[in-house]
Structure 1
Amino acid sequence: MHVKLALIATAVALSAATAAIAGSPEWSIFAEPFITNAHAQAIDWQKVDDTLGRKPAVSGDVRRYGFPRSDLNVTLDGVTIKPSLALGGWVAFKPAHGGAMVMGDLVLLETEITPVMTKLVQGGLEITAVHNHLLRANPATFYMHVGGHGDPLKMATALHDALAASKTPLTAAPASPPPAIDLDTAQLDQIIGVKGQNNGGVYAFAVPRRDPVNEAGMEIAPVGPMGVAQGINFQPTGSGKAAITGDFALTGDEVNPVIKALLAGGIEVTAVHSHMLDEQPRLFFLHFWANDDAAKLAKGIRGALDKTASGKS
């Protein structure tokens, strides 16, 4: 994601922190990139939680709020897509000099794009991408990446008002144990090379890149919540099969080797595009889809991961 900040004398107001995946803002050069614990603790996060109407998942100094499109019944090739497979909108806040930076990926219907975009822009946030992740889905869904820097409560208010222009549920559903994963998850862990997690009945992997991704001299971390890990999701579809989707975060020279590896593994490439506007190294995000034997697909994904600078534990 990319928030363009002009260099002005009041560096306190305009210095910025990292940005991410699922998007990354463009920041001007700033003098004090690292944030003290005292500064981070000075933010009244309870007010942000109250404004957004939910509690975040906290990882390091990043607070990530989920906005799944649980209101939608989206099907693709006969598969009813769980929100955590491909409909999990989110926004993440990271303390930054002068307040916080925010980035996110909102899941929208076609008719919701302009009303939500208008509210975001009016609220001082920036749009860094609008695009598809899936093909043939019914109804079609689109993904709007956003970014901003400043007062976290003001940005939370702008995000709430923008989402209110869509039918995104603004009241968080009560927490409940996720349904069991009807797959050999130990086998999937072994093939992919990292341990997955049960995310709402979807078995989800976040495979980090070996080299850091930076924004204006600051490392984008943690990579999973900030959207710059290889995200791979398996939704069981019965008899050992799974529908898979997600995205690879790739440098330019990795894009076509990964495409070839996925196609060789029987996995469809559904989109290649940017999520951010100014990150180093430059990244492209490749989305995919398949519904087949889970172990077979995991091997196809592993073959694609081997074409990237991604770690395998």
Structure 2
Amino acid sequence: MRKLLGIIVSVIAASVSTGAYPQKFDWQVLAEPFVTSAHAANIDWQKVDDVFGRKPVVSDDVHRYGFPRSDLSVTLDGVTIKPALALGGWVAFKPMHGEAMVMGDLVLLESEVNPVMLKMIEGGLDITAVHNHLLRASPATFYMHVGGHGDPVKMATTIRDALVVSKTPMTAPAAASPPPAIDLDTTQLDKLIGVKGQANGGVYQFNVPRTDPIKENDMVMAPVGPMGVAIAINFQPTGGGKAAITGDFVLTNDEVNPVIRALRSNGIDVTAVHSHMLGEQPRLFFLHFWAVDDALKLAKGLRAALDKTASMKT
């Protein structure tokens, strides 16, 4: 690190001496990556792990903890929904200004919404949305989006205490051995969606980033998948090359109706359009969908919708 800093200082000094930087140089441009790393190092993540009783998935500087509703048996159109398809609650912590930002999406039954909300409010966390993602499911599930900024251990304690008043399992789920097979042509799915998918708990999942940066309170939300701001597409095999699909498109206002039309013209139901956050830039809308049909046919419909968005394709 010291050697790298020396090289950077030398390069800038040489540039300034030759007049390449006639104006005052903004040292914050260089300092920010190192400040962020220092802030991340100052957080005792083991204490957060201990509060939740589980390990996170770590992506860059984001620590994401999963709270799947493995206790629920939710069915929709004859499909028993796996937690990874639509019942995977989570919270993600990102270092920010010496503390941490937290964002999350908790899966709750109707009777659990207000008891959990009360605990969140008492602990100083914000409720940024409460709504459905699915239609016609039995039992009905609701999704509470939460956010906050502060000491990560205190925020984790608030989230744990809130989840305890629901029936969300607080013991870390055991890993399936071997994991359920994905009975789908994943090579063709990857090609049609345009990014590489990943198997998770018997579900084949895609995270499709947008091309534009997304900020919340002037903090860039990255990596976008763990922070919940990538387009999420999930396939659960139902046999014979068919699948149940769900997820959400992350859209700017001008993309909402073109995506709705593309999905509906390809036999994919739109189940919700709403916000997940309160202060993001640009303003975003999250469009949820559902269908059960031939997996490749559905992937083509999803690709038609993705083509209406400013999303990346490899």
User: Any unmatched runs of 5+ in structure 1?
Assistant: 1-31
**What code does the residue aligned with 1:115 have?**
P
Separation in structure 2 between the aligned mates of residue 180 and residue 207 of structure 1, nearest angstrom = 23
- Cα distance in 1 for partners of 2:88, 2:217 equals 28
Question: What is the distance in 1 between the residues matched to 2:179 and 2:118?
Answer: 35
CA shift at 1:216, angstroms?
Answer: 3.2
Gaps of 5+ in 2: 1-30
C-alpha separation between the residues in 2 aligned to 1:115 and 1:199?
A: 30
Tell me, yes or no, if structure 1 residue 92 matches structure 2 residue 92: yes
1:49 aligns with 2:49: yes
- Equivalent-residue separation in structure 2 for 1:41 and 1:239 (angstroms): 49
- 1:131 equivalent to 2:126? Answer no
**2:298 pairs with 1:297:** yes
The 1:33–1:122 alpha-carbon spacing in structure 2 relative to 1, beyond 3 Å, is farther
Equivalent residues of 2:117, 2:162 under 8 A apart? yes
Counterparts of 2:108 and 2:32, CA distance in 1: 33
Deviation at 1:39, TM superposition (A): 2.0
Aligned to 2:309: 308
Contact 1:132–1:271 (CA<8 Å) still a contact in 2? Answer: yes
Distance across 2 between alignment mates of 1:255 and 1:287: 11
Structure 2: how far apart are the matches of 1:290 and 1:36? 41
Is 1:173 aligned with 2:176?
A: no
Q: Which amino acid counterpart does residue 81 of structure 2 have in structure 1? A: I
1:283 aligns with 2:281: no
Q: What displacement does 1:81 show?
A: 0.1
Pairs within 5 Å for 1:162-311: 162-176=162-176, 177-311=178-312
Between the two proteins, the alignment pairs up a number of residues equal to 282
> How much does 1:74 deviate?
0.1
Paired with 1:310 and 1:245, the residues of 2 have a C-alpha distance of 18
RMSD of aligned C-alpha atoms? 1.1
**Letter in structure 1 aligned against 2:155:** M
- Which whole-Å CA distance do the structure 1 matches of 2:263 and 2:287 have between them? 11
**TM-score where L is the length of structure 2:** 0.88
Structure with more of its chain in helix, by fraction: 2
Bigger Rg over Cα: 2
2:120 is matched with 120
Shift of 1:77: 0.6
Contact preservation (8 Å) 2:193, 2:303: yes
Q: Percent identity?
A: 77
Q: Which residue of 2 aligns with 1:19?
A: none
CA distance in 1, matches of 2:99, 2:275: 26
Structure with more relative contact order (C-alpha pairs < 8 Å, separation 6 or more): 1
Post-superposition shift, 1:156? Answer: 0.5
CA distance in 1, matches of 2:156, 2:312: 34
Whether the 8 Å contact between 1:33 and 1:218 is mirrored in structure 2 is: no
Give the 3-state SS of the residue equivalent to 1:170 in structure 2.
coil
Q: CA deviation at 1:33?
A: 7.3
* Kept after mapping to 1: 8 A contact 2:235/2:246: yes
Read off the aligned partner of 1:65 and give its amino acid letter: Y
Secondary structure of the equivalent of 1:223? Answer: coil
The residue type paired with residue 97 of structure 1 is H
How far did 1:37 drift?
A: 1.6
Distance 2:120 2:56 in 1: 21
